Amino acid sequence: MNWNAVAGRFTPPARLAVIGDPIGHSRSPQMHNPALQASGIDAQYIRVQVPVGSVAQAFRQFAACGFLGVNITIPHKFEALDAVDVLDPLARQLGAVNTLAIREGKLHGYNSDGPGFLRSVKEAFGTDIQDLRVLIIGAGGGAGRAVAVQSALSGCRQLMLVNRSHEKAEAVAAEIFLLGRRAETSVIPWRDDALRAALAKTDLIVNATSLGMRPNDVRLLPADALLQRHLVFDMVYRADGRTPLLADAAAAGARTVDGLSLLLHQGAISFEHWFGRPAPLEVMREGLQNAVKA
């Protein structure tokens, strides 16, 4: 690829990107480009497809072409961890990098999954994670692992992990223990009886699986076990804003938020790493909402 040509064929010039494989589905440009324009920054945010195994090479090319930063999505978050020069301590603890800031030729790696989750919970429910008993479905890796570790680091009252692979959830629980966090952490079998018992002592329910993207996906939880007092965070988002989990939760009178909120706050944190100032959050929110409606 002629990287200089890629960077130079855009007006304003391409100086930020999101990488993945595939990447055509990403709505990050529709969120970041209005923010750049509103902030008077002469730069454009683009999508770049990068094959597995090429992340380190891509990072060096971005730096050589004068890029300021990059967002990293599936499947590159773990590969990016080993491709940076300076790794933020939180990204090390969360085990993945999804934000790259390029400063004076150095590659700085961050993770906005955990912090973005905390901001989303605060905005949606008006509460902090340390006040909550948290049940995470899909806690065995990726965003689920990051949210589990972040919840433990932030001192949640209780942490319950659910995963199709019980062994993966056990591994995450062991990692949390090694971080020195002694909050009560347990691994719950993915069975209706076990989930019912766990939900009776849960405040915040988090879906970190991909289930709910399609209308015919199986339900995550027994609908009649959802209560009005539950807070429900579905990392999945759909154009209609109604995953099966959120529909069941709304029917129970529970408060809900979908994954669009997480994407928004992750984007705002990336902006802050790149430019050292607060992001224009409402401009980014409007851009993201328009992209989903379209």
Catalytic residues: 77
d(CA 265, CA 56): 26
Structure tokens at 228: 């009005």
Structure tokens of 49? 């497809």
Residue 224: Cβ within 10 Å count: 10
Quote the CA–CA distance of 240 and 256 in Å, as a whole number: 14
Neighbours of 255 (CB within 10 A): 15
Distance in angstroms (rounded) separating the CA atoms of residues 66 and 7: 9
Contact 212, 234 (CB under 8 A): yes
DSSP helix/strand/coil, 160: strand
Single-letter amino acid code for the residue at 131: D
Which residue pairs from 50-57 have beta carbons closer than 8 angstroms and sit at least 24 positions apart in sequence?
Answer: 50/19, 50/20, 50/21, 50/23, 50/76, 51/21, 52/21, 52/76, 52/79, 53/79, 55/19, 55/79, 55/80, 55/83, 56/82, 56/83
- Helix and strand totals (H; E) in the chain: 12, 12
Distance CA 96, CA 87 (A): 10
Half-sphere exposure of 151 (CA within 13 A, CB side): 32
d(CA 183, CA 197): 19
